Each structure stands twice: as C-alpha cells, then as structure tokens.
Structure 1
Amino acid sequence: MRKLIFGMNATLDGYIAAPGEDLGWSAPSDELFQWWLDQERSISLFLYGRRLWETMSAYWPTGDQQPGATPAQVEFARNWRDTPKVVFSSTIDEVDGDARLATGDAIAEIARLKAEDGGPMRVGGATLAGAAMRVGLIDEYAIVTHPVLVGGGTPFFTALDSWVNLDLVETRTFPGGVVLTRYEPRR
C-alpha cells in the first residue's frame, strides 16, 4: 500500500494562497527549496487538483531553462517533468507531459492508487486534499508555515466531518522564521 502525503507551504493564518491566488508570500529560501526538492525526489506519483496543476504546469516544464535558474531549480524542474502525475478535473479536457487526466470519482481513484504497490504519492491542492482528508486517506501532513498573515484566500485545511487527531513526527526551522511541522494521523 502506498503512502499519501499532503504537504504545502502555508501562511501562519492557514492559507496556501492569498486572495486572488497570490503566492508572493511563499518565496522559499535556498535551504527550504532544497528541502522541497529532496521531498519531491522521493515521490513516485503526484496527484493534483486543476488549479495547482495549472500553476505547476505553467512554470515547471521549462523551469530549468529560465534565466538565473539555480542548480536546485534545474533539478526540481527535471524531477517534476519525470514524475508521473494524475490531474483530477471535470473542467479541463487534456493534460500534457507525464500526466493523465482523471475525470471520475476522485476518492475512488485515489483509494485505488493508494492500494497499489509503489512509492509515496503527494496530493496537492486544497480541494482535492480536503476530499482525501474527509475519508481518511492522508497518511502524513507536512505543513511549511511562513511567518506572514494574509487574512484570507485558499485555506490549507477544508471543513472536516469529524476531528482527526495527529501525532507530531518532525519539526524543523528554516531561514526567515519558516517552520516545518510534519504529522501523522493517530491510528
């Protein structure tokens, strides 16, 4: 059975994007970017909602060719292109690169993928991850909290039907006061 991880950058007040889908607050330090790269290298399948897919696919297919790309950004772009992806959407008709489109029941498909043998999967996007959270499919939460308050936007956590008790498994501080907390659901 595969492990399903939900991890993203978040503001101190709990948003993954400020109003207007603004991500300007989340620029990572070199150390944090390297941590994300190391995490992404261990992922065997990315699961994206439409909005996160559109954000990632607008930049990372050619991220290694951008002026001033650091060696870590070059490697991140290559890893992103080479890692298989499933994009969950009923509003787009096609995806490209090493991605396939899933238009049916997202929870059934995630459960099916999770039941397969293979390496860890990362779910990205608050709506898709929220659906997986509500049915208990998330095995790990990695919250990279930036010291900024944006007052609104897209929340990291969506409404749940019941409590989910978590155990802290790691904390780490990065430059600029950014803090990683990793949790696993208490089983």
Structure 2
Amino acid sequence: MARLIYLGLMSLDGYIADRDGNFDWAEPDAEVHSFVNELMRPAGTHLLGRRMYEVMAVWDHPEDFGEIPGYIQDFADLWKAADKVVFSRSLQDVTTARTRIEREFSADAVGRLKAGASRDLAIGGAEIAGEAIRAGLVDEFQMFLSPVAVGGGKTFLPADVRLRLELLEVRRFGNGTVFLRYANRTE
C-alpha cells in the first residue's frame, strides 16, 4: 500500500507560516531543496488545501522564474508529473495540469485513494493535513526545522491530536536546517 506523507518546512517553534502568513524564513538553499526533491520523487499524487495549492501552482510554469538552477527545474518537473487533488469549497477552477478539485475532505475517499495507489501520496497544507492526521491516515511525517523561531502563526501539527512517532531518520544541513523523519505509530 502507498504511504501518505506529510512534509513541511517549519520553524523551531513549530510554525509553517508566521502570524502574517510569511514563510520566506524557511526558503530552502540548494542542498536542502535537492534533498526535498529526492523525498518528493516517489510521490505520484499531491493532496492539497486551497491555500497550499495556490502557493504551489507557480511550479507549473518555472520559466516565469527566469533563469533557474537545475534543482529548481527538477522540483518543477516532479510537481508537473504528479497528480494533484485540491480540497476546497471556494476554488472555482484549477490552473495546473493533472489537477482536480474535491469539495469536501473524505477520510474514506482518501483511504481508498491510498489503498489503490501504486506510488506514495504527499499531503500539504496544515488544515487538510490536520484532517488526515485526525483520521489516522498519515503514515509518515517529514519535517525540516529551520533555525529560526517566529513566535506564532500557523502550526505544522494540529493542537488537538496525540501522536506516537518512531524516529526513522535525522539529517543536518550546512545552513543549520535539520530534517526529521518519523513513522506514525498512533493506534
């Protein structure tokens, strides 16, 4: 069965965006970005909330970035090759290829998608990931801890869940970022 993986860049105090919605403090350098690419390579489908989709949609047109290094083009290619499911009640249309809208998050439907998938699924966006976490669907957490504290904002994990995690991997990067990979052992 495919795994459902929640990957995110976050501050040391657990936020993926600060109080103003900014996350520029977590921008990965070449080393971190290349590592993210390798983690994303097995993902055949991305499950996204509306806001995360709107942030990520730019990757369908990397030519708009101007001249880009190979690791950025690689990420764009991975994004464009994957299927995308956007969970949104308000989004009217999608601007990216291989993308469909689902109006409601359904744990049963996501469970069936996961069971029938031949490649891993990635989930992005704190709210939609929170729903999947509460439903017990997330198999793995992949966290990049940036060496900053932002003091508030949108948290990586929902406040109303209890998780039992098994540490699978730790990696330290030259810019001070630390990668942590955990299996979900919640029962």
The two structures share one fold, judged by TM-score above 0.5: yes
Q: TM-score with structure 1 length normalisation? A: 0.94
Is 1:160 the counterpart of 2:160? The answer is yes
Q: State the partner residue of 1:134.
A: 134
Give, in whole Å, the separation in 1 of the partners of 2:77 and 2:117.
Answer: 24
Is 1:17 the counterpart of 2:5? The answer is no
Q: State the partner residue of 2:170.
A: 171
Q: State the partner residue of 1:37.
A: 37
Give, in whole Å, the separation in 2 of the partners of 1:98 and 1:133.
Answer: 25
Q: Any unmatched runs of 5+ in structure 2?
A: none
* 1:168/1:64 CA distance change after superposition, 3 Å: farther
Contact 1:52/1:125 (<8 A) preserved: yes
3-state SS of 1:44 partner: strand
Contact 1:18/1:154 (<8 A) preserved: yes
Query: Percent of pairs identical after alignment?
Result: 34
Contact 1:50/1:87 (<8 A) preserved: yes
Q: State the partner residue of 2:184.
A: 185
* 1:84/1:121 CA distance change after superposition, 3 Å: same
3-state SS of 2:20 partner: helix
3-state SS of 2:180 partner: strand
Counting only pairs closer than 5 Å after superposition, residues 34-183 of structure 1 correspond to structure 2 as 34-57=34-57, 59-96=58-95, 97-161=97-161, 163-183=162-182
The AA in structure 2 aligned to 1:63 is P
Q: CA offset at residue 123 of structure 1?
A: 0.4
In terms of fraction of residues, the more helix-rich structure is 1
**Structural RMSD (CA):** 1.3
Q: CA offset at residue 150 of structure 1?
A: 0.6
The AA in structure 1 aligned to 2:70 is P
Contact 2:105/2:128 (<8 A) preserved: no
Q: CA offset at residue 29 of structure 1?
A: 1.5
Give, in whole Å, the separation in 2 of the partners of 1:144 and 1:64.
Answer: 27
The range that moved more, 128-137 or 106-115, is 106-115
Give, in whole Å, the separation in 1 of the partners of 2:62 and 2:117.
Answer: 31
Q: CA offset at residue 40 of structure 1?
A: 1.4
Q: CA offset at residue 65 of structure 1?
A: 4.5
